[in-house]
Structure 1
């Protein structure tokens, strides 16, 4: 698995998560706002979080060349995740992000998303990105708007699932 930095911003280092991030990710995945706005991943132990890193995140990176990256801020390792996911339900890779509660409302997620958009354009050569958000999650919708995404329509990922807000961003002639 690749190690080291994938992207750097003024305040963040984005990298492929490692097993040593398991405690931080366990906390992230069990935050009430993560469960309410994204989903309950049923990750309850360090071993579960390590398995998610190895079997989901690393596998995604190996298959697609991108994944959800760990966001390191100052002296704090893995304050959240931000990156790209390729879902079979969507025509384009979608940007995903989640930040630990104690690091929210600092602009870190917006900074990471803008960097991911630049990475998608310049390094990955993608032409369009998608994003989905719970319609009640105004914080995520604000981040998506600041990163340049525009609302397209409502959509369901699963037949019985909730109606989500679907956004897109054209990367053709996109300036980062």
Structure 2
């Protein structure tokens, strides 16, 4: 059995089609599904197989996570599920659990959910998680709040009065030279100063900003990517001057196990070692916190000699040149592809 998460009393692993009988048992139980939006969906083992095959197995392969089978160690039985599910309506991963009634009241829901949340932060590279619970489901509401999720709003969906909660665990990283800090709308002016500089945007697929609203839009777009679980964007803040000197970040593609990174430093801070150390710090965090990550890559214009030297010095391999791959500012551009593999660190 390929165990992904282990707690003192539980194992959490990916579902297989052999679990259909167990899924049928807990998914057809009216007490288990009383507060869910899919009550009545599972009436046969075939229904259970369809959920495993068409939802969970598909999500494991395409998203990188889905609900896990919850296995009780003492009898090796599947008693429910726990884990994450990407919810397109919420633009975020949702944490949830279900288990057969005979296992309620033993603290297993909290034990499993806490482990699933730690797995999300430390193995999936996620930092924003949501949870939704029926207002009448006081036990599950208590678990979510004890995990640190905070109520954001209440509304009605599926005929249920729901409480929407979330937890934000943005990974701020501090070194002796700088801090990789969260990019929020409060720093819009700093982002504008960076991207309104023509030297910063010379080799960038982004036009020089002319209005603060453009910076606010960019921050909003980056935040959506983060909340969806597809990447992070950091501001690079100099510790001694308390100034934003640049930004860096990545977008992650689970299907290819590849993250594409980028970095921008304001010209006032060029040749001071910020870019080199920021990329080294960021890539270390990525390989540590995204277990499935195999490859980090960067695309660099051939004429951008400073970035070419930078990635070479960091140990990135020049894979080759993609001719006229980039198209921006009414021109096509050749792009050098640099990569760093997990086995090379």
**TM-score in terms of structure 1 length:** 0.90
Q: Give the number of equivalent residue pairs.
A: 170
CA displacement, residues 15-52 of structure 1 (integer Å, 9 cap, x when unaligned): 00112211111111111223321131421111211111
Structure 2 gap segments, 5+ residues each: 173-345
Larger Rg: 2
CA contact 1:97–1:109 (8 Å) conserved in 2: yes
1:94 matches 2:94: yes
Looking at structure 1, the residues matched to 157 and 64 of structure 2 have their Cα atoms a distance apart, in angstroms, of 23
- Which structure's residues are more often strand, by fraction? 2
Looking at structure 2, the residues matched to 78 and 171 of structure 1 have their Cα atoms a distance apart, in angstroms, of 30
Most deviating of 97-106 and 35-44: 35-44
Structure 1 gap segments, 5+ residues each: none
CA displacement, residues 138-175 of structure 1 (integer Å, 9 cap, x when unaligned): 111011122221111113456xx43310000112359x
Deviation at 1:111, TM superposition (A): 0.6
CA contact 1:21–1:77 (8 Å) conserved in 2: no
Looking at structure 2, the residues matched to 32 and 63 of structure 1 have their Cα atoms a distance apart, in angstroms, of 31
CA contact 1:89–1:157 (8 Å) conserved in 2: no
**TM-score in terms of structure 2 length:** 0.47
CA contact 2:12–2:68 (8 Å) conserved in 1: yes
User: What SS class does the counterpart of residue 113 from structure 2 fall into?
Assistant: helix
The equivalent position to 1:11 in structure 2, one of 2, 9, 12, is 9
CA displacement, residues 63-122 of structure 1 (integer Å, 9 cap, x when unaligned): 110000001112132111001111111132010110111111111111111011111111
User: What SS class does the counterpart of residue 34 from structure 2 fall into?
Assistant: helix
Within 5 A, what are the aligned runs for 1:64-79? 64-74=63-73, 75-79=75-79
1:30 matches 2:28: yes
Q: Which has the higher contact order (CA 8 A, sep 6+)?
A: 1
In the TM superposition, structure 1's runs of 4+ consecutive aligned residues that sit over 2 Å from their partners are 155-158
Looking at structure 2, the residues matched to 163 and 100 of structure 1 have their Cα atoms a distance apart, in angstroms, of 23
Within 5 A, what are the aligned runs for 1:17-166? 17-38=15-36, 39-74=38-73, 75-157=75-157, 161-166=159-164
